[in-house]
Amino acid sequence: MKMQRLIIKLAKVALPLVLAVAILWWMYRGLQWEQLRCVLTGEMSWTWMLLSMPFGILAQVLRGARWQQVMRPMGERPRLHTCVNAVFLSYASSLVVPRVGEVLRCGVLRQYEGTNFGRSVGTVVTERVVDMAMVALLSLLVFLSQIPVFVTFFRSTGVSLGGFLSSFSPAGWAVTAACVLFVALAAWLVMRRMGVFSRTRAVLADLRDGLLSVRQVDSPTLFLLYSLGIWVSYFLHFYLTFFCFASTSGLGMMAALVAFVVGTFAVLVPTPNGAGPWHFAVKSVLVLYAVPQTDAALFVLIVHTLQTILVVLLGLYALLALAFTRYGRR
Protein backbone atom coordinates (compact mmCIF):
# COMPACT_ATOMS: atom_id res chain seq x y z
CA MET A 1 0.00 0.00 0.00
CA LYS A 2 2.82 2.41 0.88
CA MET A 3 4.61 1.54 -2.35
CA GLN A 4 1.41 2.18 -4.32
CA ARG A 5 0.97 5.58 -2.70
CA LEU A 6 4.60 6.42 -3.43
CA ILE A 7 4.16 5.46 -7.08
CA ILE A 8 1.03 7.60 -7.34
CA LYS A 9 2.80 10.60 -5.80
CA LEU A 10 5.78 10.19 -8.13
CA ALA A 11 3.45 9.87 -11.11
CA LYS A 12 1.71 13.12 -10.19
CA VAL A 13 5.06 14.88 -10.42
CA ALA A 14 6.61 12.94 -13.30
CA LEU A 15 3.72 12.65 -15.78
CA PRO A 16 3.04 16.40 -16.15
CA LEU A 17 6.76 17.02 -16.54
CA VAL A 18 7.12 14.25 -19.13
CA LEU A 19 4.17 15.61 -21.12
CA ALA A 20 5.59 19.15 -21.05
CA VAL A 21 9.08 18.01 -22.09
CA ALA A 22 7.69 15.79 -24.86
CA ILE A 23 5.62 18.60 -26.40
CA LEU A 24 8.46 21.13 -26.13
CA TRP A 25 10.94 18.67 -27.66
CA TRP A 26 8.56 17.99 -30.54
CA MET A 27 8.03 21.72 -31.17
CA TYR A 28 11.68 22.79 -30.95
CA ARG A 29 13.60 19.75 -32.14
CA GLY A 30 14.54 21.48 -35.40
CA LEU A 31 15.09 24.98 -34.04
CA GLN A 32 18.33 26.73 -34.82
CA TRP A 33 19.33 28.08 -31.41
CA GLU A 34 21.39 30.80 -33.07
CA GLN A 35 18.05 32.33 -34.12
CA LEU A 36 16.98 32.48 -30.49
CA ARG A 37 20.21 34.21 -29.51
CA CYS A 38 19.81 36.78 -32.28
CA VAL A 39 16.22 37.56 -31.22
CA LEU A 40 17.15 37.91 -27.56
CA THR A 41 20.21 40.07 -28.14
CA GLY A 42 19.04 42.38 -30.88
CA GLU A 43 15.73 41.81 -32.58
CA MET A 44 13.22 41.98 -29.70
CA SER A 45 12.22 45.05 -27.70
CA TRP A 46 13.09 44.52 -24.05
CA THR A 47 11.34 47.79 -23.17
CA TRP A 48 7.92 46.33 -23.98
CA MET A 49 8.79 43.12 -22.17
CA LEU A 50 9.70 45.04 -19.02
CA LEU A 51 6.52 47.13 -19.32
CA SER A 52 4.45 43.94 -19.37
CA MET A 53 5.88 42.55 -16.14
CA PRO A 54 4.12 44.89 -13.62
CA PHE A 55 0.78 43.65 -14.91
CA GLY A 56 1.77 40.07 -14.07
CA ILE A 57 2.52 41.21 -10.52
CA LEU A 58 -0.67 43.29 -10.32
CA ALA A 59 -2.84 40.31 -11.32
CA GLN A 60 -1.55 38.26 -8.40
CA VAL A 61 -1.83 41.18 -5.95
CA LEU A 62 -5.46 41.70 -6.96
CA ARG A 63 -6.08 37.96 -6.59
CA GLY A 64 -4.75 38.16 -3.03
CA ALA A 65 -6.97 41.18 -2.27
CA ARG A 66 -10.05 39.43 -3.69
CA TRP A 67 -9.29 36.33 -1.66
CA GLN A 68 -9.09 38.41 1.52
CA GLN A 69 -12.48 39.95 0.71
CA VAL A 70 -14.11 36.54 0.14
CA MET A 71 -12.78 35.27 3.48
CA ARG A 72 -14.37 38.06 5.54
CA PRO A 73 -18.04 36.89 5.46
CA MET A 74 -16.92 33.69 7.22
CA GLY A 75 -15.45 35.63 10.13
CA GLU A 76 -11.87 35.28 8.91
CA ARG A 77 -9.64 38.37 8.91
CA PRO A 78 -6.37 37.46 7.20
CA ARG A 79 -3.94 40.29 6.57
CA LEU A 80 -3.62 41.49 2.97
CA HIS A 81 0.13 41.00 2.70
CA THR A 82 -0.19 37.40 3.89
CA CYS A 83 -2.88 36.70 1.29
CA VAL A 84 -0.76 38.21 -1.47
CA ASN A 85 2.38 36.34 -0.44
CA ALA A 86 0.38 33.11 -0.25
CA VAL A 87 -0.77 33.67 -3.84
CA PHE A 88 2.80 34.42 -4.96
CA LEU A 89 4.00 31.22 -3.33
CA SER A 90 1.13 29.14 -4.72
CA TYR A 91 1.94 30.01 -8.33
CA ALA A 92 5.64 29.32 -7.83
CA SER A 93 5.03 25.97 -6.13
CA SER A 94 2.70 24.90 -8.94
CA LEU A 95 5.73 25.01 -11.23
CA VAL A 96 6.99 21.93 -9.38
CA VAL A 97 3.71 20.06 -8.87
CA PRO A 98 0.79 21.42 -10.94
CA ARG A 99 -2.20 22.67 -8.89
CA VAL A 100 -0.49 22.01 -5.54
CA GLY A 101 -0.32 25.75 -4.98
CA GLU A 102 -4.07 25.97 -4.42
CA VAL A 103 -3.77 23.79 -1.35
CA LEU A 104 -0.46 25.34 -0.27
CA ARG A 105 -1.81 28.87 -0.09
CA CYS A 106 -4.63 27.71 2.18
CA GLY A 107 -2.00 26.13 4.41
CA VAL A 108 -0.05 29.39 4.50
CA LEU A 109 -3.11 31.28 5.73
CA ARG A 110 -3.78 28.63 8.35
CA GLN A 111 -0.21 28.82 9.62
CA TYR A 112 0.19 32.61 9.65
CA GLU A 113 -3.39 33.80 10.19
CA GLY A 114 -5.08 30.88 11.97
CA THR A 115 -7.83 30.61 9.33
CA ASN A 116 -9.95 27.50 8.88
CA PHE A 117 -8.32 25.32 6.23
CA GLY A 118 -11.53 23.83 4.84
CA ARG A 119 -13.16 27.22 4.44
CA SER A 120 -10.07 28.55 2.70
CA VAL A 121 -10.25 25.67 0.22
CA GLY A 122 -13.91 26.51 -0.35
CA THR A 123 -13.06 30.12 -1.19
CA VAL A 124 -10.39 28.95 -3.65
CA VAL A 125 -13.06 26.82 -5.35
CA THR A 126 -15.30 29.89 -5.42
CA GLU A 127 -12.55 31.92 -7.08
CA ARG A 128 -12.07 29.28 -9.73
CA VAL A 129 -15.79 29.12 -10.48
CA VAL A 130 -15.90 32.91 -10.91
CA ASP A 131 -12.78 32.84 -13.10
CA MET A 132 -14.20 30.05 -15.28
CA ALA A 133 -17.42 32.03 -15.76
CA MET A 134 -15.48 35.13 -16.81
CA VAL A 135 -13.25 33.18 -19.18
CA ALA A 136 -16.28 31.42 -20.72
CA LEU A 137 -18.01 34.77 -21.33
CA LEU A 138 -14.83 36.32 -22.73
CA SER A 139 -14.29 33.30 -24.99
CA LEU A 140 -17.80 33.53 -26.40
CA LEU A 141 -17.49 37.26 -27.13
CA VAL A 142 -14.02 36.94 -28.65
CA PHE A 143 -14.76 34.05 -30.97
CA LEU A 144 -18.09 35.47 -32.13
CA SER A 145 -16.39 38.77 -32.93
CA GLN A 146 -13.57 37.02 -34.79
CA ILE A 147 -15.68 34.81 -37.07
CA PRO A 148 -15.46 37.38 -39.92
CA VAL A 149 -11.69 37.49 -39.48
CA PHE A 150 -11.40 33.71 -39.79
CA VAL A 151 -13.68 33.65 -42.84
CA THR A 152 -11.72 36.45 -44.53
CA PHE A 153 -8.45 34.74 -43.75
CA PHE A 154 -9.56 31.44 -45.25
CA ARG A 155 -10.97 33.12 -48.36
CA SER A 156 -7.95 35.35 -48.99
CA THR A 157 -5.52 32.48 -48.63
CA GLY A 158 -7.67 29.97 -50.45
CA VAL A 159 -7.65 27.69 -47.43
CA SER A 160 -10.79 25.93 -46.27
CA LEU A 161 -11.41 25.03 -42.65
CA GLY A 162 -10.98 21.39 -43.58
CA GLY A 163 -7.71 22.25 -45.26
CA PHE A 164 -6.50 24.11 -42.20
CA LEU A 165 -7.35 21.17 -39.96
CA SER A 166 -5.69 18.76 -42.38
CA SER A 167 -2.50 20.83 -42.15
CA PHE A 168 -2.08 19.44 -38.64
CA SER A 169 0.53 16.72 -38.76
CA PRO A 170 -0.16 13.37 -37.09
CA ALA A 171 2.14 14.52 -34.30
CA GLY A 172 0.06 17.69 -33.90
CA TRP A 173 -3.13 15.67 -33.53
CA ALA A 174 -1.32 13.37 -31.11
CA VAL A 175 -0.33 16.36 -28.95
CA THR A 176 -3.93 17.62 -28.96
CA ALA A 177 -5.27 14.19 -28.02
CA ALA A 178 -2.68 13.81 -25.26
CA CYS A 179 -3.68 17.16 -23.76
CA VAL A 180 -7.37 16.23 -23.78
CA LEU A 181 -6.67 12.85 -22.18
CA PHE A 182 -4.46 14.48 -19.56
CA VAL A 183 -7.21 16.94 -18.60
CA ALA A 184 -9.69 14.05 -18.35
CA LEU A 185 -7.28 12.10 -16.14
CA ALA A 186 -6.73 15.11 -13.88
CA ALA A 187 -10.49 15.63 -13.57
CA TRP A 188 -10.97 11.97 -12.65
CA LEU A 189 -8.29 12.20 -9.96
CA VAL A 190 -9.91 15.32 -8.51
CA MET A 191 -13.33 13.67 -8.40
CA ARG A 192 -11.78 10.61 -6.77
CA ARG A 193 -10.15 12.81 -4.15
CA MET A 194 -13.44 14.59 -3.53
CA GLY A 195 -14.92 11.16 -2.84
CA VAL A 196 -12.59 10.98 0.14
CA PHE A 197 -13.74 14.41 1.28
CA SER A 198 -17.38 13.38 1.03
CA ARG A 199 -16.91 11.07 4.00
CA THR A 200 -16.18 14.02 6.25
CA ARG A 201 -19.23 16.18 6.91
CA ALA A 202 -17.25 18.90 8.64
CA VAL A 203 -14.99 19.42 5.64
CA LEU A 204 -17.96 19.53 3.28
CA ALA A 205 -19.63 22.10 5.49
CA ASP A 206 -16.51 24.26 5.40
CA LEU A 207 -16.36 23.95 1.62
CA ARG A 208 -20.02 24.97 1.40
CA ASP A 209 -19.34 28.04 3.55
CA GLY A 210 -16.49 28.99 1.27
CA LEU A 211 -18.59 28.60 -1.86
CA LEU A 212 -21.44 30.66 -0.44
CA SER A 213 -19.14 33.39 0.88
CA VAL A 214 -19.14 35.23 -2.45
CA ARG A 215 -22.85 35.97 -1.96
CA GLN A 216 -22.07 37.73 1.30
CA VAL A 217 -19.07 39.89 0.39
CA ASP A 218 -19.25 43.37 1.84
CA SER A 219 -19.02 45.02 -1.57
CA PRO A 220 -20.10 43.04 -4.66
CA THR A 221 -18.98 45.95 -6.83
CA LEU A 222 -15.45 45.76 -5.41
CA PHE A 223 -15.45 41.99 -5.89
CA LEU A 224 -16.41 42.47 -9.54
CA LEU A 225 -13.74 45.15 -9.99
CA TYR A 226 -11.12 42.85 -8.47
CA SER A 227 -12.19 40.05 -10.83
CA LEU A 228 -12.13 42.29 -13.89
CA GLY A 229 -8.82 43.78 -12.81
CA ILE A 230 -7.25 40.34 -12.48
CA TRP A 231 -8.13 39.32 -16.02
CA VAL A 232 -7.38 42.70 -17.57
CA SER A 233 -3.96 42.54 -15.91
CA TYR A 234 -3.37 38.99 -17.16
CA PHE A 235 -4.29 40.08 -20.67
CA LEU A 236 -2.04 43.16 -20.64
CA HIS A 237 0.77 41.01 -19.23
CA PHE A 238 0.42 38.94 -22.40
CA TYR A 239 -0.66 41.56 -24.95
CA LEU A 240 2.22 44.00 -24.39
CA THR A 241 4.67 41.24 -25.32
CA PHE A 242 3.28 41.38 -28.87
CA PHE A 243 5.08 44.69 -29.31
CA CYS A 244 8.41 43.04 -28.48
CA PHE A 245 8.57 41.30 -31.87
CA ALA A 246 8.20 42.59 -35.43
CA SER A 247 6.15 39.54 -36.46
CA THR A 248 3.43 40.14 -33.84
CA SER A 249 3.48 43.90 -33.25
CA GLY A 250 0.98 44.56 -36.04
CA LEU A 251 -1.56 41.86 -35.23
CA GLY A 252 -3.84 44.01 -33.09
CA MET A 253 -5.68 43.53 -29.83
CA MET A 254 -8.31 41.07 -31.09
CA ALA A 255 -5.68 38.64 -32.35
CA ALA A 256 -4.01 38.88 -28.95
CA LEU A 257 -7.36 38.22 -27.26
CA VAL A 258 -7.90 35.06 -29.30
CA ALA A 259 -4.41 33.81 -28.44
CA PHE A 260 -4.96 34.76 -24.79
CA VAL A 261 -8.25 32.87 -24.53
CA VAL A 262 -6.88 29.77 -26.28
CA GLY A 263 -3.80 29.87 -24.05
CA THR A 264 -6.00 30.16 -20.95
CA PHE A 265 -7.79 26.94 -21.88
CA ALA A 266 -4.47 25.27 -22.74
CA VAL A 267 -3.13 25.74 -19.20
CA LEU A 268 -5.97 23.56 -17.92
CA VAL A 269 -3.66 20.72 -18.90
CA PRO A 270 -1.79 20.18 -15.62
CA THR A 271 1.80 20.77 -16.67
CA PRO A 272 4.18 23.20 -14.90
CA ASN A 273 2.82 26.67 -15.72
CA GLY A 274 1.10 25.18 -18.77
CA ALA A 275 4.45 24.48 -20.42
CA GLY A 276 4.00 22.55 -23.64
CA PRO A 277 0.23 22.79 -24.16
CA TRP A 278 0.34 26.60 -23.87
CA HIS A 279 3.22 26.81 -26.37
CA PHE A 280 1.42 24.55 -28.82
CA ALA A 281 -1.95 26.33 -28.54
CA VAL A 282 -0.70 29.92 -28.75
CA LYS A 283 1.69 29.10 -31.58
CA SER A 284 -1.20 27.57 -33.54
CA VAL A 285 -3.24 30.76 -33.13
CA LEU A 286 -0.34 32.96 -34.23
CA VAL A 287 0.16 30.82 -37.32
CA LEU A 288 -3.54 31.24 -38.08
CA TYR A 289 -2.89 35.00 -38.14
CA ALA A 290 -0.10 34.47 -40.70
CA VAL A 291 2.85 34.67 -38.32
CA PRO A 292 5.68 32.48 -39.69
CA GLN A 293 6.12 29.14 -37.92
CA THR A 294 9.61 29.90 -36.62
CA ASP A 295 8.67 33.39 -35.39
CA ALA A 296 5.60 32.01 -33.63
CA ALA A 297 7.65 29.27 -31.97
CA LEU A 298 10.25 31.77 -30.76
CA PHE A 299 7.53 34.12 -29.48
CA VAL A 300 5.89 31.53 -27.25
CA LEU A 301 9.23 30.18 -26.03
CA ILE A 302 10.60 33.59 -25.02
CA VAL A 303 7.37 34.99 -23.55
CA HIS A 304 6.55 31.89 -21.52
CA THR A 305 10.11 31.53 -20.21
CA LEU A 306 10.37 35.15 -19.05
CA GLN A 307 6.91 35.11 -17.46
CA THR A 308 7.83 31.88 -15.66
CA ILE A 309 10.98 33.53 -14.33
CA LEU A 310 8.77 36.31 -12.94
CA VAL A 311 6.62 33.70 -11.16
CA VAL A 312 9.75 32.14 -9.63
CA LEU A 313 11.05 35.53 -8.44
CA LEU A 314 7.69 36.37 -6.85
CA GLY A 315 7.71 32.99 -5.10
CA LEU A 316 11.19 33.63 -3.72
CA TYR A 317 10.10 37.07 -2.53
CA ALA A 318 7.09 35.50 -0.79
CA LEU A 319 9.30 32.98 1.01
CA LEU A 320 11.52 35.78 2.26
CA ALA A 321 8.59 38.01 3.25
CA LEU A 322 6.82 35.19 5.11
CA ALA A 323 10.03 34.41 7.00
CA PHE A 324 9.76 37.89 8.54
CA THR A 325 5.97 37.81 9.01
CA ARG A 326 4.63 37.63 12.54
CA TYR A 327 1.92 35.10 13.20
CA GLY A 328 -1.55 36.60 13.40
CA ARG A 329 -4.65 35.22 15.10
CA ARG A 330 -4.16 31.55 15.97
Residue 195 pLDDT > 70: no
Percent of the chain at pLDDT > 90 equals 30
Higher pLDDT, 175 or 249: 249
Stated pTM of the model:
0.80
Furthest C-alpha separation in the chain: 67
Residue 164 pLDDT > 60: no
Show me where the domains of the chain are located: 45-177+189-238+305-323
Phi, psi of 7 (to 5 degrees): -65, -40
Q: What is the pLDDT of residue 194?
A: 45
Residue 261 pLDDT > 80: yes
From the number of C-beta atoms within 10 Å of its C-beta (0-12, 13-18, 19+), residue 12 rates as: middle
- Rounded mean pLDDT, 3-29: 73
Between 148-157, 213-222, 294-303, the lowest mean confidence (pLDDT) is in: 148-157
Between 36-50, 82-96, 126-140, the lowest mean confidence (pLDDT) is in: 126-140
Higher pLDDT, 10 or 309: 309
Contact between 52 and 236 under an 8 Å Cβ cutoff? The reply is: yes
Q: What is the pLDDT of residue 137?
A: 84
Dihedral sign of CA atoms 179, 183, 189, 192 in order: negative
Q: What is the pLDDT of residue 51?
A: 96
